[in-house]
Amino acid sequence: MSKPASTPSDPLREVEHAVLPVCDPATDQVVGEVPCQGPADVADAVDRAASAQPDWARRPTMERAEIVSEVGRRLREDDRALSRLITAEQGKPLGESEAEIAYAASFFEVAAAEIGAIVPEEIVMTGKRATIEYRPMGVTAAITPWNFPLAMLAKKAAAALATGCGQIVKPAEQTPLTAIRFAEIAASAGVPDGIIQILTGDPDPLGDAILRDPRVRRFSFTGSTEVGRLLMSRAARQPLPVSLELGGHAPLLVFDDADLDRAIEVTMAAKFRNAGQTCIAPNRILLQSGIHDRYVEALSRRAAALTSGRGVDGVDLGPLIDDAAVAKVETHVGDAEEHGGDIVLGGGRRSLPGLADRFPEPTIILGADPRMLCWREETFGPVCPIRRFETAEEGIRLANDSSYGLAAYVVCGSASQGARIAQSLEYGIVGVNDGLPAVAQVPFGGVKHSGFGREGGRLGLHEYLVPTTISRVD
């Protein structure tokens, strides 16, 4: 279906259907509004999904795959309008919104290609044989964050659609318009009514109602570790299987023999995308002594040249999503300074006439250490804490000194050293000389407090399938 799940039908529910404004974080201008839905709407949405899903699942796999791939095509076709919408409600530069659309579309293309490879398996034993079928889980639900309003939804919806599931999605309150537009595009590509539905409103009651509904068979969440813990405990009431893609605290290790230009390119791509608001952004930059000074000089030059402003104005850095995000960045920078960190670039805000005050300067902190907040918690801003190390063993120990385990980066001159270091890192995804390791073809997800479950590639589809064994005596 293409619209938020339902319309008010009785006076008691009208309170819930007050509208919620959606604002441009760069200007605070209202760019749209969405209904404030509640538990009754969740029940309606699950009803509709539960009646539509069996037919969707019965469609021949290749017919479904054709529709899934058409969703990807239409996302790419709608690129101009959709990128403006993402930038309007999220703030990121237009070019990054376009890249996000291409990334999102690739999940549909990969899911459509991979689903055909998942076929029943036959295990032959003495006197009997078993068939293992992969069946769609049924109605599924997702809660998505604001930093990649389209891509984080696409990862979940592509797998749900390709496997024959339905999905109820609650997008972040900051960025619901992209999700609503996505559902319209999916409907135009041939996704049947009820199979993808968007619910908007107060997250807590919506999430609670979703997780209580026994017809929901899987829950997928991308967001903070704190909220992930809460939702997992609520899912445990059924219990309901969950996938959690939570926070990250990526280390970026640069070794003496690294190509300096490559190291800077990897850093710029991984750190400053979305003004640092990504769960795979490097939060601890670990530099071997021999390259430390040259790297800091080169990074300072490049980071200082980054421009800030409205995403539609051709800038490098958009605003942070809200005032709390800016306050967190400033707390981390202040705390690092108190603990002896040396701020060699930035540390303040850029004041831009006519715009909201949400543009922290690109910031470099030398002498970062484990006592600092920025060493332990995600900063989610354009801040680069840097620390020096001597030996590879020390670098690896510092890199693994985190309760998170989502992404890590290594930049070095030798492929065999890169592979060896990567094997020692306790992270779900490691980029070696690669600042953008997360692509739709490969599984993405974390270890430790970064969560569990995988999205992308064939493994991502298995999250939405139940292996069912049918055993027969010969």
Near ligand ADP by CB under 6 A: residue from 35, 93, 145, 194: 145
C-alpha closest to that of 277 among 168, 101, 152: 152
- Minimum CB separation from ligand ADP for residue 385, in Å? 20
Between 168 and 411, whose beta carbon lies closer to ligand ADP? 168
Phi-psi region of 456 (alpha: psi -120 to 50; beta: other; left: phi over 0): left
In whole angstroms, the minimum distance from the beta carbon of 36 to ligand ADP comes to: 13
Do 326 and 320 form a contact (C-beta atoms < 8 A)?
yes
- Give min distance, CB of 147 to ligand ADP, in A: 7
Instruction: Please confirm, yes or no, whether 100 is among the known catalytic residues.
Output: no
| Sole window of 134-142, 155-163, 171-179, 403-411 interacting with ligand ADP (rule: CB under 6 A) | 171-179
Tell the smallest beta-carbon distance from residue 61 to ligand ADP (Å): 31
Considering the candidates 279, 374, 384, 412, report the single residue annotated as catalytic.
279
In the chain, how long is the greatest CA-to-CA distance?
79
Query: Smaller CB distance to ligand ADP: residue 172 or 232?
Result: 172
Instruction: Choose the stretch contacting ligand ADP; rule: CB under 6 A; options: 43-51, 166-174, 191-199, 460-468.
Output: 166-174
> Considering the rule CB under 6 A, would residue 118 count as an interface residue with ligand ADP?
no
Q: Are 358 and 325 in contact (CB under 8 A)?
A: yes
For the CB of residue 204, give the shortest distance to ligand ADP in the complex, in Å: 4
Buried b (16+ CB within 10 A) or exposed e, 362-393: bbbbbbbeeebbbbbbbbbbbbbbbbbbeebe
143 binds ligand ADP (CB under 6 A): yes
Closer to ligand ADP at the Cβ: 27 or 224?
A: 224
CA atoms within 13 A on the CB side of 246: 23
Both structure tokens of 395 = 């670098």
> Least CB distance from residue 356 to ligand ADP, whole Å?
17
Other Cβ atoms less than 10 A from the Cβ of 239: the count is 8
Judged by CB under 6 A, does residue 405 bind ligand ADP? no
Q: Is 172 in the site for ligand ADP (CB under 6 A)?
A: yes
> Closest CB to ligand ADP among 406 and 465?
406
Q: Name 285's Cβ contacts closer than 8 Å, sequence gap at least 6.
A: 251, 252, 254, 267, 271, 368, 384, 385, 386, 387
Per CB under 6 A, the segment of 3-11, 201-209, 235-243, 293-301 that binds ligand ADP is 201-209
Is 394 annotated as catalytic?
A: no
Of the candidates 276, 300, 243, which has an alpha carbon nearest to the alpha carbon of residue 383? 276
- Cα distance between residue 356 and residue 358, in whole Å: 6
Q: How far is the CB of 223 from ligand ADP (least distance, A)?
A: 3
Q: Among 149, 207, 251, 385, indicate the residue that binds ligand ADP (CB under 6 A).
A: 207
DSSP string, 19-43: EEEEE-TTT--EEEEEE---HHHHH
Is-cis flag, bond preceding 239, omega within 30?
Answer: yes
Nearer to ligand ADP by Cβ, of 53 and 174: the residue is 174
Q: How far is residue 232's CA from residue 211's CA, in Å, rounded to a whole number?
A: 9
Binding-residue total with ligand ADP (CB under 6 A): 15
Q: What is the spatial distance between Cα 108 and Cα 440, in angstroms, rounded to a whole number?
A: 9
39 contributes a contact to ligand ADP by CB under 6 A: no
Measured distance CA(72)–CA(54) in Å, rounded: 23
Backbone angles phi, psi at 365, to 5 degrees: -115, 120
- Residue 144 touching ligand ADP (CB under 6 A): yes
Q: Looking at residues 218 to 257 of the shown chain, list those that interact with ligand ADP (rule: CB under 6 A).
A: 223-224, 227, 230-231
> Which of the residues 70, 245, 361, 378 is marked catalytic?
245
Query: What does the alpha-carbon distance between residue 281 and residue 408 come to, in Å, rounded to a whole number?
Result: 9
Residues of span 280-339 touching ligand ADP by CB under 6 A: none
Residue 201, interface with ligand ADP (CB under 6 A)? no
Crossing angle of helices 176-188/79-90, nearest 10°? 160
Q: Which two tokens stand for residue 17?
A: 């259907």
Convert 116-131 to b/e letters by CB count within 10 Å (16 or more is b): eebeeeeeeeeeeeee
Q: If DSSP states are collapsed to H, E and C, what string results for 209-244?
A: HHHHCCCEEEEEEECCHHHHHHHHHHHCCCCCCEEE
Which is nearer to ligand ADP, 36 or 162 (by Cβ)? 36
Interacting span for ligand ADP (CB under 6 A) from 142-150, 384-392, 424-432, 452-460: 142-150
Contact region with ligand ADP (CB under 6 A), list: 45-53, 92-100, 125-133, 203-211? 203-211
Nearest distance, CB of residue 369 and ligand ADP, angstroms: 25
| The only residue of 192, 203, 241, 443 in contact with ligand ADP, by rule CB under 6 A | 203
Near ligand ADP by CB under 6 A: residue from 133, 173, 330, 337: 173
Nearest Cα residue to 38 out of 55, 15, 57: 15
* Least distance to ligand ADP, CB of residue 76, Å: 25
Selected binder of ligand ADP within 121, 204, 256, 393 (CB under 6 A): 204
Binding site for ligand ADP (CB under 6 A): 143-145, 170-173, 203-204, 207, 223-224, 227, 230-231
Q: Which residues are identified as catalytic?
A: 245, 279
